[in-house]
A and B are shown apart, each in its own frame.
Chain A
Amino acid sequence: MNKQLHNDWSAYPDENGRFGQFGGRFVAETLMPNILALEEAYNKYKDDEDFKTEFSGLMTHYVGRPSPLYFAERLTEYYGGAKIYFKREELNHTGAHKINNCLGQILLAKRMGKTRIIAETGAGQHGVATATVCARFGLPCMVYMGAKDVERQSPNVFRMKLLGAEVNPVTSGTQTLKDAMNEALRDWVSNPHDTFYIIGTAAGPHPYPQMVRDFQSVIGKEAKEQILAAEGRLPDAIVACIGGGSNALGLFHPFLNDENVKIYGVEAAGLGLDTDKHAAAMAGGRPGVLHGNRTYLLQDDDGQILDAHSISAGLDYPGVGPELSFLKDTGRATYLSTTDDEALEAFQLCSRLEGILPALEPSHALARIGEIAKDIGKGGVVVLNISGRGDKDIFTIANAIGTDIGG
């Protein structure tokens, strides 16, 4: 019965922004008119020819799309299982998938007549992508970033500043992504008329989870065409890391109705799921309401949000996007997890075998690819999203593996 109900995965969210029980619009009254106006604008422009032409033109000439689908031959050989393909989002302008979404949102902001952009960022990739599109379209940009992340992602902080953005270190709470999001929401409540909030992941109040997913779906659409061209068939499995879910849903969504394609999301297990230092909201959390939507959250018995931990700033968030929670409860997606140490190992393996420095975020997905490829076996095909490049992480990695970066 459930199966029948969920047959058409593209039908979600419903008109209330719900993916089953997840999603919704849990925001303060001051922001309700804003998110309703945003929803209206998004629905108006998403099928607008002018909008689509401008978006796809920029995707081609500014971002550099389509990103390649690359056969990772040596990694495939190393594991001896299914053929492993990388969707190379790290080759995009600014070095991650985040720019896809930022371009879509800033085109919308322009059409809505907004004159100021705000964003939250964890790893700084979304901040950099937002600062980039703001420079490109001549809008002032304020990026909220946890003070702890400002420290561990300093190259990206500098990049944002070079692009003309103002970076506002957030010292409240845990000083990471969730606090940056709190602060961005506070800014938006205080400046509801002129400001457009570019959320960087498939979370937040409706319509963000849908809108971000749609803008990122270019990843899965391309991957589907590319794998059909390369292999003449759909993959057996697709794999992505999970922070809030934008790179994952970007890859997953165009494949949801292909029921034979297995879907794997990889959460950050930090120091281990058996410790309290991880960021695996679906493995270790339960449903609740945060940042405008109902979803799986790390929380205590009183409903207080727990601190997440991951070596990867982009995954260091105690929740996930609501659609991922829905895919969990319906069984459409399978979620795995990767510890800090495993991610570091996978990072090094990929660097040495493929000559690609992946970001720490997709390194979490890479750490599980061996098992998935072996499980599917020879003759099978898997596609993994390399959501970003690792240049931003070299200091963190040097620190973690105890290497002096100069030596």
Chain B
Amino acid sequence: MPVSRISKAFENAKAENRAALVLYTMAGDPTPEISAKILENIAEGGADIIEIGFPFSDPMADGISIQKAAIRALENKMTLKKTFELVRNFRVKNQNTAIVLMGYLNPIESMGYAKFAQNCADCGVDGVIAVDDPPEEDMELRTGLKANDVALIRLATPTTDEHRLKKVIKDISGFVYYVSVAGVTGTKAIDTDAIKDKVSLVKSAAKLPVAIGFGIRTEEAAHNTAQLADGIVIGAALVDIVFNAYKDGNDCVKIAKDFAMRMKNAAVKN
């Protein structure tokens, strides 16, 4: 039932008159043990969907925050295989929060598409985003995931025109991830006025929930974005807060949970 766990997340949020909260965290950052606790705690704090980044040595579409998180994760010996273990352990206690894996294609290809998809199903992963695997190239991934009832989620971006959008939303399930800015993660700030029209276009075309991400750092931005979308995605801001707290010897797990609670509250619809 993985796809329905994602649908449920959006339904629940809608019933509570808010946008679903999607939080991104890098597997193995700042340490593998803390990373596991962060998953539990941001779920408790209010994340409806957790995007777990699995690290890649060459994160071409990420800004400095997530690049550094990936390097830390790799230094902590995190792998795609261990990311699956992380999810498996998380699922022992938590059956409700949807889990989406997000990363780059090569670790997936290296594991093998069929095996990867099977692992997703076995460990309780509900959806997958492969950043550098556009519709033109993702047949193998798509086929593998479909056979295992795992959602393929693609990104639509400011450069995706109406014509391309049709291609992007074909064959996906779960939700559409709308990237609010042309840029890498965690750099430019979101401009909600500028993306309004594009988001409604995506919404009406996709007939799926739309979550908006990239550039949401503050509660104010979260609140404004929540007015436009079915979900909001926050990544680099959480990664930074957690790591800075960890570095300063503070309780980064609690800080992550508080962050989730605050953002969930901010995501209410007017």
Which of A33, A34, A185, A302 sits near B60, CB closer than 8 Å? Answer: A185
Give how many A residues have a beta carbon under 8 Å from the other chain's beta carbons: 37
Interface centre among A16, A190, A289, A292 (most CB of B within 10 A): A289
- A24 partner residues in chain B, CB cutoff 8 A: 136-137
B60:A29 contact, CB within 8 angstroms: no
Tell me the interface secondary structure of chain B in the complex: loop
B79:A16 contact, CB within 8 angstroms: no
- A304 partner residues in chain B, CB cutoff 8 A: 55-57, 74, 79, 106-107
Contact code string B28-62 (vs A, CB < 8 Å = 1, else 0): 00000000000000000000000000011111111
Is residue B233 within 8 Å, beta carbon to beta carbon, of the partner chain? no
Chain A, 142-176, CB within 8 A of any chain B CB: 172-173
- B81 partner residues in chain A, CB cutoff 8 A: 302
**Chain B: minimal CB distance from A116 (Å):** 14
Which of A29, A186, A189, A290 sits near B134, CB closer than 8 Å? Answer: A29
**A173-B58, A186-B184, A190-B187 known; A32+B106 contact, CB < 8 A:** no
- A105 partner residues in chain B, CB cutoff 8 A: none
- B108 partner residues in chain A, CB cutoff 8 A: 303
Chain A, 254-312, CB within 8 A of any chain B CB: 288-292, 294, 297, 299, 301-305
Q: Name the CB-closest residue of A to B59.
A: A182
**Chain B: minimal CB distance from A19 (Å):** 14
Interface centre among A33, A186, A191, A303 (most CB of B within 10 A): A303
- A186 partner residues in chain B, CB cutoff 8 A: 60-63, 184
- B159 partner residues in chain A, CB cutoff 8 A: 29-34, 192
- A33 partner residues in chain B, CB cutoff 8 A: 159-161, 164
Distance between Cα atoms of A190 and B214 in the complex (Å): 12
Is residue B168 within 8 Å, beta carbon to beta carbon, of the partner chain? yes
Chain B, 102-123, CB within 8 A of any chain A CB: 104-111
- A294 partner residues in chain B, CB cutoff 8 A: 109
**A25-B137, A30-B159, A289-B105 known; A189+B182 contact, CB < 8 A:** yes
Q: Name the CB-closest residue of A to B177.
A: A29
**A190-B182, A299-B106, A303-B106 known; A30+B57 contact, CB < 8 A:** no
Interface centre among B104, B106, B179 (most CB of A within 10 A): B106
Tell me the interface secondary structure of chain A in the complex: mixed
Q: Name the CB-closest residue of A to B78.
A: A302
Interface centre among A25, A182, A288 (most CB of B within 10 A): A182
**A28-B60, A172-B67 known; A192+B182 contact, CB < 8 A:** yes
Distance between Cα atoms of A302 and B63 in the complex (Å): 22
- B61 partner residues in chain A, CB cutoff 8 A: 28, 30, 185-186, 189
Is residue B197 within 8 Å, beta carbon to beta carbon, of the partner chain? no
Distance between Cα atoms of A27 and B157 in the complex (Å): 13
Is residue B133 within 8 Å, beta carbon to beta carbon, of the partner chain? yes
Q: Name the CB-closest residue of B to A16.
A: B136
Which of A190, A290, A292 sits near B188, CB closer than 8 Å? Answer: A190
Is residue B156 within 8 Å, beta carbon to beta carbon, of the partner chain? yes
**Chain A: minimal CB distance from B219 (Å):** 25
Is residue A88 within 8 Å, beta carbon to beta carbon, of the partner chain? no
- A179 partner residues in chain B, CB cutoff 8 A: 58
- A299 partner residues in chain B, CB cutoff 8 A: 106, 110
**Chain B: minimal CB distance from A284 (Å):** 15
Is residue B154 within 8 Å, beta carbon to beta carbon, of the partner chain? yes
Which of B55, B106, B155, B184 sits near A290, CB closer than 8 Å? Answer: B106
Is residue B80 within 8 Å, beta carbon to beta carbon, of the partner chain? yes
Interface centre among A25, A32, A192 (most CB of B within 10 A): A32
Distance between Cα atoms of A299 and B118 in the complex (Å): 23
Distance between Cα atoms of A201 and B179 in the complex (Å): 30
B184:A302 contact, CB within 8 angstroms: no
Which of B58, B132, B179, B184 sits near A305, CB closer than 8 Å? Answer: B58
**Chain B: minimal CB distance from A321 (Å):** 17
Interface centre among A30, A178, A193 (most CB of B within 10 A): A30
CB within 8 Å of A: which residues of B?
55-64, 67, 71, 74, 79-81, 104-111, 131-134, 136-137, 154-161, 164, 168, 179, 182-184, 187-188
Given contacts A29-B159, A30-B179, A299-B110, 13 further A-B contacts (CB under 8 A): A28-B61, A29-B154, A30-B183, A33-B159, A173-B58, A186-B61, A189-B183, A289-B105, A289-B109, A289-B132, A304-B56, A304-B57, A304-B107
